[in-house]
Amino acid sequence: KQEVTQIPAALSVPEGENLVLNCSFTDSAIYNLQWFRQDPGKGLTSLLLIQSSQREQTSGRLNASLDKSSGRSTLYIAASQPGDSATYLCAVRGAGRRALTFGSGTRLQVQP
Amino acid sequence: ETGVTQTPRHLVMGMTNKKSLKCEQHLGHNAMYWYKQSAKKPLELMFVYNFKEQTENNSVPSRFSPECPNSSHLFLHLHTLQPEDSALYLCASSQGASGESEQFFGPGTRLTVL
């Protein structure tokens, strides 16, 4: 059974810092991995999707990497801003399944 | 309307009530999903529909009854719920035929069971 772990569970940084969020998964047989952002009490906003054949994806200040063989992904946020404060969720889509398996998330607070 | 919409956004119900959650996607997708997000637990899958057919049921209690009349609409019928069923219920959709497709989520329905 696929398990997804995110470290750290919570993170507080001053504005302007570069930061890295970590995600690990136990079964490397995946189709893809998605990073989401969730604001308190709200739905999920998709940030980046990495296919299993890809190593990384970039969107603006965000860069996500994938090392499928070791079961790891990182989300790099450059020059963090207070508006980046949210919970970041990592989810993997296992081979042969349509549904996503989610981690518990990293709650990020960027201090102005 | 664009993307994935859910109604109502908030719902309070008693344990003897019957209510329904509605999800609609305007993306032309073929697959739709119900997920549950409880406090202090990871998001967990409930049901998957592909071309209106249920393809996954993640051992969900029968007090939750899904319905998918077409590829654009998904319902979750609720009856005799328990207080522990209080959670954020999220709907998602994807271009279901491909394993590489991205999932798009609605804003969720915040359910409180008294």
pLDDT bracket for residue B53 (50, 70, 90): confident
Quick check: B103 contacting A, CB < 8 Å?
yes
Q: What pLDDT digit, counting tens, does each position of A77-98 carry?
A: 999 999 999 999 999 998 777 7
Determine whether the interchain pair B108/A103 forms a contact, defined as Cβ–Cβ distance below 8 Å: no
pLDDT value for A5: 96
* pLDDT band per the 50, 70, 90 thresholds, residue B54: confident
Residue in A46, A97, A99 closest to B104 by CB: A46
Buried-state track A80-98, b at ≥16 Cβ within 10 A, e below 16: beeebbbbbbbbbbbeebb
A72, exposed or middle or buried, with CB in 10 Å at 0-12, 13-18, 19+?
middle
Which chain A residues are Cβ-neighbours of B43 within 8 angstroms?
44, 89, 91, 100, 102
Cross-chain Cβ contact B33/A98 below 8 Å: yes
**DSSP assigned state of B89:** E
Residue B65 contacts residue B79 (beta carbons within 8 Å):
yes
Q: Which carries the bigger pLDDT value, residue A1 or residue A5?
A: A5
CA distance B37 to B14: 20
Euclidean distance between CA atoms A32 and B99, whole angstroms: 8
Q: How far is CA B100 from CA A35, A104, B96, in A?
A: 14, 23, 9
Q: What is the mean pLDDT of residues A58-81?
A: 96
Please say if the pLDDT value at position B98 is more than 60: no
B6 three-state secondary structure: strand
Contact status, residue B23 vs residue A82, Cβ threshold 8 Å: no
Q: What is the pLDDT of residues B17-38, one digit of tens each?
A: 899 999 999 999 999 999 999 9
Higher pLDDT, A54 or A96: A54
Q: Which residues in chain B have their CB less than 8 angstroms from residue A44's CB?
A: 43, 90, 92, 105
Work out how many CB contacts closer than 8 A connect A with B.
63
Run of H or E including B107: none
3-state SS class at A28: coil
Strands A56-59 and A30-38: what pairing? unpaired
Show which of residues 61-80 on chain B sit within 8 Å of chain A, judged by CB atoms.
none
| Residues in Cβ contact with B40 at an 8 Å cutoff, skipping those fewer than 6 apart | none
Q: How sure is the predictor about B39, in pLDDT bands with cuts at 50, 70 and 90?
A: confident
B1 pLDDT higher than 60:
no
